[in-house]
Structure 1
C-alpha cells in the first residue's frame, strides 16, 4: 500500500512540474479515437513542440490544486488527455482544434494558458491566434510598408529633379 502511494505522489509531482513549466495546457477528451488517429495526433503535436500525455484525472486535479488552479477539477471529467505547450502557449490549442475539426471524437474541454483557466469556448478562440512567428512577421510587415512607401516617394522626387535638370 505504501509503495502505491509513493508511485502516485511521484506522478503528481511529475504532472505539477510539467504544469509549472508549460505556458499552455489543454485538456481534451480522446475517447473513440482509433490507434491510427491517436498516432497521427501525437505526431502532429510532437511536430509543433507539444507534449501529449494521458494521466488520471485525480492526479492531475491534485497537481493543479497544488499550483492554485482549483477550478480545473470541474474540467477533469471522463477520460482526458493533456497537451503541454512549453514554447508557444497557443500551439496545443491550435493543433488539437485543427485535429478535432476532422475527427469529431476529439473534444476540447478546457485548459490553463499562462496562468489563466480557459473553458472549451476560450480554447477554441485561442486556437485561432496565429503562431508567434507569424504575428512577428505581420508586425514587421506593417513597419516595412510605410518605410517602403517613403523610400519610393524619395526616389520619385529624386528622379523628377534629375529629369528637370536634364
Structure 2
C-alpha cells in the first residue's frame, strides 16, 4: 500500500475516531468468517439504531488512537478487527452486538471501553451489555431520590387522614346535638 493511500486512511480514521466529536467509547469485534449476507444484515440492523461498524487496518488505527480516549483499545487490534460505535452509548452497542451473536456465527467480541474502563473479551463485553444506559441510570437515581419523599408524604398523610376522620365524626355528632365523650 502506498504512503499516500495510508495517509488518506489515517486522515479518515482521525476524522472518525480521534477528531472532535469522535467516539470516546467503542467496541472491538472481529467479523472474520462471517458470511457477507450476515454482515450486511448485522450492519443494516445496527444502522437503524445509529450504530456503525468500521473495519480497520490495525497498524494505522493504533497510530491514530494514540492519545485519544480509544487508546486502550489498541492492544485488542490484532487479526481482523472492526470498531462498533455510535448509538446512545457503548452499552447500547454492546447489547445489540451480544443480541446478534447467535444470529451471526463467527462474530467475535474482543473488548470495549467505557469511560476509560476496559472490558476484555466476550465475558467483558457481555458484562458491559448488562450495565444500565445513561438514561436508565438517571431514571434509577431519580427513583432513589423521590422514594424517601414519597414515603414521607405517605407518613404525614396517614395520621392526618385519621385526624380528619375523627374531626368529621365529632362534627357529625355536634350537628346532631349529641354529647361528645372524652
Q: Calculate the TM-score normalised by the size of structure 1.
A: 0.80
Match of 2:137 among 135, 141, 164: 135
Mapped to 2, the partners of 1:137 and 1:73 lie a distance apart of 34
User: What stretches of structure 2 of length at least 5 have no aligned partner?
Assistant: 169-182
User: Contact 2:28–2:111 (CA<8 Å) still a contact in 1?
Assistant: yes
User: Contact 1:22–1:86 (CA<8 Å) still a contact in 2?
Assistant: no
The aligned residue for residue 7 of structure 2 is 9
Mapped to 2, the partners of 1:112 and 1:16 lie a distance apart of 18
Give the superposition deviation at 1:139.
Answer: 1.6
The aligned residue for residue 60 of structure 1 is 61
The alignment of Structure 1 onto Structure 2 pairs a total of residues equal to: 164
Greater relative contact order (CA < 8 Å, ≥ 6 in sequence): 1
Mapped to 2, the partners of 1:149 and 1:69 lie a distance apart of 44
The aligned residue for residue 162 of structure 1 is 164
Structure 1 residues 61 and 152 mapped into 2: Cα distance closer, same or farther (>3 Å)?
same
Structure 1 residues 66 and 16 mapped into 2: Cα distance closer, same or farther (>3 Å)?
farther
Match of 1:153 among 152, 155, 165: 155
Larger of the two Rg values belongs to structure: 2
Calculate the aligned-residue CA RMSD, in Å: 2.6
User: What stretches of structure 1 of length at least 5 have no aligned partner?
Assistant: none
User: Contact 1:16–1:67 (CA<8 Å) still a contact in 2?
Assistant: no
Structure 1 residues 87 and 10 mapped into 2: Cα distance closer, same or farther (>3 Å)?
farther
Q: Calculate the TM-score normalised by the size of structure 2.
A: 0.74
Give the superposition deviation at 1:117.
Answer: 4.2
Give the superposition deviation at 1:86.
Answer: 6.7
Mapped to 2, the partners of 1:94 and 1:106 lie a distance apart of 14
